[in-house]
Amino acid sequence: MSRITTHEDVPRTMRASVLVTKGQIRLEERPVPRPAADEVLVKVASVGVCGSDVHYYREGRIGEFVVDAPIVLGHEVSGRIVAVGANVPEARIGERVAIEPQRPCRVCAQCAAGRYNLCPDMEFYATPPVDGAFQEYVTIQGPFAHPVPDAVSDDVAALLEPLSVGIWAGRKAELAPGSRVLIAGAGPIGVIAAQSAKAFGAAEVIVSDPVPERRAMAERYGATATLDPAADSVAELGVDAFIDCSGATPAVLSGITAVRGAGTVVLVGMGADDVPLPVPVIQNRELKITGVFRYTDTWPTATHLAATGQVDLASLVTGRFDLDHVEDALNADLTPGSLKTVVYL
């Protein structure tokens, strides 16, 4: 049994914005979920729109994950705990939290090794068939509802999720004080990765993007230099790490040539399924190439960076929509100058 807060009457039903099928969003009335023994019930405050949400909306799939039944999108979430399961302290009721939107099994070999992001039985918000957070209430296991201080707004708390991607990319890139890093792509994740790299102590953060306005934006968010991939070569940079946030095959291939011997290549952006790699460069320089698949144990770091102002997430928000206008939020990226959109409840 779950315990329901006495501070607020939790309704039996809630509104949910549902992706019925590709390109079709519908508001529905659904039962409010009840938390299991190890879960909390969160009243949603803010939900960031991710590129994956847009992709599911427009294409109906991402790789092997196919929308073959109605699903609620949204996995960048903040809110307030309004009820707890039997095994969660009642004192948590009322906490403002940022949600780490995943449920690993915690017993498989990957989980036991501390790589719970690679759990083969992972349930992740807004990844078919698991519902996400474009709805008024969600449940999550207690440890994955991370407390946030008052210095962190609801919108910023929601954006700790994409910040976690930037932090995880920085860890995979083995960034340290004095590092030199090249980042391809100055979209939301690229800008966040650049800020994360600066917070890690990187001495040089070089951002490559073909769009002048995005290069200028990257400089405002901490890039020490920017490059136009159509005009500037990166082959002689000799950086310690290359982080691709573009998913563009030319950017991946040129970025690999920019890395010094024994350096690291981190693939964050989603692009072509197959890329012909420059094997002699990789072999002769003994480069390490790795991907990023979500994150592990990043929320405490993300909360600290946001609360102390070492990263600026608030100014990334260029559009806010209510639950009645989720479809507009999913299409906001078509507006020039759009960077990060949130849905507020």
pLDDT tens track for 133-151 = 999 999 999 999 999 999 9
The pLDDT assigned to 343 comes to 98
The pLDDT assigned to 290 comes to 98
The pLDDT assigned to 2 comes to 44
Phi and psi, residue 118, nearest 5°: -100, 10
Phi and psi, residue 56, nearest 5°: -60, -40
Q: To the nearest whole number, what is the mean pLDDT of the chain?
A: 96
Q: Which residues contact 89 (CB under 8 A, 6 or more apart)?
A: none
The pLDDT assigned to 167 comes to 98
Q: What is d(CA 310, CA 307) in angstroms, rounded to the nearest whole number?
A: 8
Q: What is the DSSP secondary-structure string of 54-88?
A: HHHHHHSEETTEE--S-EE---EEEEEEEEEETTS
The pLDDT assigned to 63 comes to 84
The domains located in the chain, with CATH, are 2-159+313-344 (3.90.180.10), 165-291 (3.40.50.720)
Evaluate if residue 279 carries a pLDDT over 60: yes
HSE-up of residue 91 (Cα within 13 Å, Cβ side) = 2
Evaluate if residue 6 carries a pLDDT over 50: no
Q: What is d(CA 259, CA 255) in angstroms, rounded to the nearest whole number?
A: 7
Cβ atoms within 10 Å of 279's Cβ, excluding its own = 8
pLDDT tens track for 153-209 = 999 999 999 999 999 999 999 999 999 999 999 999 999 999 999 999 999 999 999
Q: 3-state class of 113 per DSSP?
A: coil
pLDDT tens track for 12-39 = 999 999 999 999 999 999 999 999 999 9
* Confidence (pTM): 0.96
Q: What is d(CA 18, CA 209) in angstroms, rounded to the nearest whole number?
A: 34
Q: What is d(CA 206, CA 180) in angstroms, rounded to the nearest whole number?
A: 8
Structure-token pair, residue 28: 């529905």
